[in-house]
């Protein structure tokens, strides 16, 4: 039957396994009671009106069937449902059916998809492998140090508002372009490349959270020109992300954790804020340089290709990058 045809029928009443087992045992005990009553009548020789004697023995043996067990079970289920709703370890739980709470103790496997049908589906980045190295959420400081080392070696972080800063930005663009060549890459460059790729290849929309302590600084720092290839400057502030897939949000939050923040995204551009360059003494507050990218084309994720890609042009270097990500079975044949 199709799902539409199944939905046209009446919903079946949910009956727990325990209730089914009690019903079966009650039927078996009733059969035992009837057999004992017949045996007692047979021993008496089926004298006179023997069926009246049969009913008498049925009444005498009726205590074999635990009728009060049903009442006790219903009372226990009601108490169990109330205890679930008031459990401090699972706040917000609502019991909508008090007939089957004991079924929770019989669950061995919970099968679900990734869409959050049965769960809240809050995903976190736990581990990333870069070459022969593996980094976890506990080693994010080491990843941030690699990113900071790479940016400092490339001269990123100079004052883009002065003439000297403009010359430094020009040198930065040349060094960045050279570093993306085919030469052997060191670990800081590998780490930055993977952070840059994860921060660019997605469909996440960022939104700056409104905080009173950074609004004034943001008015002074945001809006620095980046279309001419110079490094922009933006104030560091908490970000919120929206996306159709929690996987992508988890990846973007990881790049934010290591200091490469998705600061802005439009239909034609992406801006990354390099919070890794903010001194630790400032506690994550202050201004940070930004890298702007023009979005040339987006290849959306499909169930057939099992991957997505994006083509961007870095305004600082003028280089065009094609970044893609997808299922390991598909990407293994590409990389």
| Positions of E strands within the chain | 127-130, 133-136, 205-208, 232-235, 239-242, 260-265, 269-274, 287-299, 307-314, 320-326
> What is the rounded distance in angstroms from the CA atom of residue 135 to the CA atom of residue 255?
13
Spell out the SS3 assignment of 86-104.
Answer: CCCCCCCCCCCCCCCHHHH
> What is the rounded distance in angstroms from the CA atom of residue 88 to the CA atom of residue 93?
10
pLDDT of 179 reads 54
Catalytically active residues, by annotation: 113
- CA distances, 183 to each of 64, 150, 170, 264, 318 (Å): 86, 15, 21, 31, 19
99 CB neighbour count, 10 Å cutoff: 16
> What is the rounded distance in angstroms from the CA atom of residue 202 to the CA atom of residue 136?
21
Here the tokens at position 7 are 């939905």
Task: Indicate the helix (H) or strand (E) that contains 144.
Answer: helix 140-153
The pLDDT profile of the chain, 335 residues, written as one tens digit per residue, is: 566 666 676 777 777 788 888 889 999 999 999 999 999 888 888 887 888 888 888 998 888 888 888 888 888 888 988 888 898 888 888 888 777 777 777 888 877 666 555 566 778 888 888 877 888 888 888 888 888 888 888 877 644 443 344 444 444 555 555 555 544 468 888 899 999 999 999 999 998 766 554 444 444 444 443 444 456 777 778 888 988 888 889 999 999 988 899 999 999 999 999 988 887 767 667 788 889 999 999 999 888 888 999 999 998 888 999 999 988 888 888 87
């Amino acid at each position: 039957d199709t799902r539409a045809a199944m939905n046209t029928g009446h919903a079946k009443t949910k009956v727990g396994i325990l209730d089914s087992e009690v019903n079966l045992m009650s039927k078996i005990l009733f059969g035992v009671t009837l057999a004992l009553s017949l045996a007692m009548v047979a021993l008496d020789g089926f004298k006179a009106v023997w069926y009246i004697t049969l009913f008498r023995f049925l009444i005498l043996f009726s205590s074999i069937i635990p009728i009060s067990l049903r009442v006790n079970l219903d009372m226990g289920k009601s108490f169990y449902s109330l205890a679930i709703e008031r459990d401090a370890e699972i706040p917000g739980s609502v019991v909508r059916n008090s007939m089957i709470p004991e079924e929770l103790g019989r669950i061995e496997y919970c099968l679900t998809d990734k869409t959050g049908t049965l769960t809240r589906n809050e995903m976190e980045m736990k581990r990333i492998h870069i070459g022969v190295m593996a980094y976890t959420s506990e080693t994010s400081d080491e990843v941030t140090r690699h990113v900071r080392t790479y940016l400092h070696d490339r001269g990123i972080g100079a004052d883009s508002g002065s003439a000297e800063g403009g010359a430094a930005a020009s040198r930065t663009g040349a060094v960045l372009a050279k570093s993306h060549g085919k030469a052997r890459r060191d670990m800081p460059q590998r780490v930055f490349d993977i952070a840059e790729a994860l921060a660019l290849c997605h469909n996440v929309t960022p939104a700056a959270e409104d905080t009173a302590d950074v609004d004034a600084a943001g008015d002074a720092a945001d809006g620095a020109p980046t279309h001419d290839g110079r490094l922009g400057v933006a104030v560091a502030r908490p970000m919120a992300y929206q996306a159709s897939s929690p996987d992508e949000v988890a990846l973007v939050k990881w790049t934010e954790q290591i200091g490469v923040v998705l600061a802005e995204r439009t239909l034609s551009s992406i801006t990354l804020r390099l919070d890794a360059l903010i001194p630790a003494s400032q506690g994550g507050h202050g201004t940070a340089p930004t890298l702007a990218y023009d979005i040339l084309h987006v290849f959306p994720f499909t169930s057939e290709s099992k991957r997505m890609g994006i083509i961007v042009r870095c305004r600082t270097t003028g280089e065009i990058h094609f970044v893609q990500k997808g299922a390991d079975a598909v990407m293994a044949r590409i990389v």
